[in-house]
Structure 1
């Protein structure tokens, strides 16, 4: 099992996905090089991302409850 991804790796992953689209030759190798992970790791991470998006789109992930500051002026 791969270790957890850092915030920096996640940000690099997002940027690499935007840079290397589906039509890019060796897309996954390029993304892996940017992130510093294996091709297998980035493919697994991408599948997890797709599942997360799917759950969000189907309303299966609750919105976070934020505290609101109620101030009167």
Structure 2
């Protein structure tokens, strides 16, 4: 999501996967995510804040969920899964 993201598609996927692996209780969380994505700790924190801001906007109904046109609703399911993971952090 992170509409103001400067990450490539590949880095975004690495970032999302690293967030799932290194939760809030992981020691050196931001450093581990930075190492996994190849970006700086400062950029990791900025990307995380952008993601949190996006989720807050969606949950407050300020931004409508996109109408994905995929087979079986896979994209919509993935968005819901990402939101659920963020809420757990």
The two structures have a TM-score, normalised by structure 2, of 0.67
Q: Give 1:4 shift.
A: 1.6
In structure 2, which of residues 3, 8, 11 is the aligned counterpart of residue 9 of structure 1? 11
State whether structure 2 residue 24 is matched by structure 1 residue 60: no
Moved over 4 A (4+): none
Match of 2:43 among 41, 44, 55: 41
Where in structure 1 are there 5+ consecutive unaligned residues? Answer: 68-73
- Relative contact order (alpha carbons < 8 A, sep ≥ 6): 1 or 2 greater? 2
Q: Quick check: 1:31 aligned with 2:56?
A: no
Please state how far the C-alpha of 1:65 moved relative to its aligned partner.
Answer: 5.3
| 1:62, distance to aligned residue in structure 2 (A) | 2.5
Q: Per residue, is there more helix in 1 or in 2?
A: 2
- Listed as ranges, the gaps of 5+ residues in structure 2 are 70-89
Kindly tell me the number of residue pairs found equivalent between the two proteins.
Answer: 65
Q: CA RMSD in A?
A: 1.8
Contact conserved, 2:30 with 2:41, CA < 8 A, in 1?
Answer: yes
